[in-house]
Structure 1
Amino acid sequence: MDLKNRLDGVVIGILLGFRDGAPLVVFPSNARDHAIPARSLTPLSADHAGSEVALLFEDGDLGRPLIIGRIIEPARREGGDAPQVIRDGETVKVTAQDRIELRVGRASIVMEKDGHITIRGTNLVSHASASNRIRGGSVNLN
């Protein structure tokens, strides 16, 4: 084995997903231009894709990564500056202090902490199988 393709010590990588049940990881010292299948000491699921993982390498071989654990973010204090995303498999909750923006192409949804919500797009469509209500202190059309 080439010594420059060996690494001792822990490396932080990213779990990209799974292929044939094997976790796929990328890491800074990876000489390949694609993710590498890894073995894992910890249970992982598709919900963990995008997570940072701690890696060791079997016999120091960069082609044989071993996931020893996921990097867990410290608990955020209420009122902290960083946005928080909570996924439990049924609900995704995104919390921020001042503003949340969702943007793609010419469409956007912006939510402000004062309760102001702006939805913009070239064509807005609303469908409902039951009643479709518009309620407010006043409703302005055009």
Structure 2
Amino acid sequence: MKHRSFKLRWSRYYQFILEGQIFYLKLKAYTNKDEGIKKWELITECTYEKAIRNGHKDNVVIVEDEVSIAPVQALTLIFNRTYGINERDMRTAVVEAQESIRELGKHTEIKFGLEYKVFKRIIELKVKEFKEDYSRGIAI
């Protein structure tokens, strides 16, 4: 949650392509006299197209190719749309999956395409774990 002293400084629009599906996101930057924050939000295709017509740059991210460096907040929104779990838990799953593939990449050369498969498998395992916790009443 941002304080009312923050003012919008700029916005950027993105298409995140994941397994053939397109997700439209907007990245907004806010600042006040002391600090700044960036916030991602899912938007509609219509909003995205209107922004591009109004002169905003078209930014495309192919998630499968850039999963280890894609922004955590954006991936959290995208994967939460698919899995529908608590956003905090989805963020945890994304962070753990990214850290795992980065660590794996330090010790071995990962073939193109395998990085995303490993990432997605870790996400699926974490989501399953969280859903089991929910059903047992462990998670908040």
TM-score relative to the length of structure 2: 0.23
TM-score relative to the length of structure 1: 0.23
Task: Indicate the structure with greater strand content.
Answer: 1
* Greater radius of gyration (CA): 1
